[in-house]
């Protein structure tokens, strides 16, 4: 594809690597487009943030297709990942250290599978304190890192499917299909409470956004290679 193709609009399916922010991934693609195709300016943005500790599908829109970002953000998402049961962290994932431990001897496979039913359909969910949502003009993670306590309002979200794919306590693998705005870290925390224990997220991968599948995604390195071949 040419620079004009990207200016006219493309949707890129990118498999975001671990420890990259979504912003870093978009910045890398922007640099590739500008440096390899000689573009002086190019509009580019992603349709839904992935945390640095998550991998998987990132939809990146270029040129005129950046107008479609809001539409794409509103589509249903699918994730796979792993809960660690018996311990919690302030961030609900591995960004922070364990702050409390809980018993798990009472947790059976039957209890785990039946507990998923509590989360199907429309639910109220509080975002993690370590999130980018703003409270009083300040992002929640900045409040958290400053040691400040803030009241976080619950939000309605919808879980369409919640499947347990592996149980090897203290680890539980899952697949979740959900609406826009769902925090899988919060789901991990709430799931632990529902098990009369505690839990946090130790792995997360976004596999689908609407009809877009990570199976069809490429890495930023592969994108770089394809641009080099195209412009050669």
How many other C-beta atoms can be found within 10 angstroms of the C-beta atom of residue 219?
13
Give the C-alpha distances (Å, rounded to integers) separating 146 from 39, 93, 94: 41, 18, 19
Q: Which of 15, 51, 93, 190 is catalytic?
A: 51
Cβ within 8 Å of residue 163, ≥6 positions away: 116, 174, 175, 176
Please, what is the end-to-end C-alpha distance for the chain in angstroms? 11
Measured distance CA(40)–CA(1) in Å, rounded: 17
Distance between CA 160 and CA 123 in Å, rounded? 11
The 8-class DSSP code of residue 152 comes to -
Q: How many CB atoms lie within 10 A of CB 145?
A: 12
What is the distance between the alpha carbons of residues 152 and 166, in angstroms, rounded to a whole number? Answer: 32
Task: Name the β-bridge partners of 57.
Answer: 15
Active site residue 173: no
What the block records as the tokens of 217 is 């995604």
Say how far apart CA 58 and CA 208 lie, in whole Å.
9
Can you read off the two tokens belonging to residue 227? 């641009």
Q: Which residues are catalytic?
A: 51
């Amino acid at each position: 594809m040419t620079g004009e193709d990207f200016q006219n609009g493309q949707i890129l399916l990118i498999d975001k690597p671990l420890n990259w922010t979504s912003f870093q991934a978009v910045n890398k693609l922007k640099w590739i487009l500008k440096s390899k195709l000689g573009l002086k300016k190019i509009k580019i943005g992603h349709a839904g943030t992935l945390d640095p500790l998550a991998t998987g599908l990132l939809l990146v829109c270029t040129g005129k297709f950046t107008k479609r970002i809001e539409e794409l953000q509103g589509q249903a998402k699918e994730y796979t990942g792993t809960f660690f049961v018996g311990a919690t962290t302030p961030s609900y994932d591995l960004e922070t250290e364990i702050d409390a431990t809980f018993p798990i001897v009472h947790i059976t496979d039957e209890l785990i599978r039946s507990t998923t039913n509590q989360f199907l359909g429309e639910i109220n969910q509080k975002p993690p304190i370590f999130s980018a949502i703003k409270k009083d003009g300040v992002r929640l993670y900045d409040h958290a890192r400053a040691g400040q306590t803030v009241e976080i309002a619950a939000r309605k979200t919808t879980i369409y499917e919640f499947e347990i794919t592996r149980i090897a306590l203290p680890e539980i693998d899952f697949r979740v299909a959900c609406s826009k705005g769902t925090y899988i870290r919060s789901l991990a925390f709430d799931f632990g409470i529902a098990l009369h224990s505690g839990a946090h997220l130790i792995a997360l991968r976004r596999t689908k956004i609407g009809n877009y599948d990570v199976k069809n995604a490429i890495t930023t390195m592969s994108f770089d290679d394809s641009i080099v071949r195209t412009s050669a």
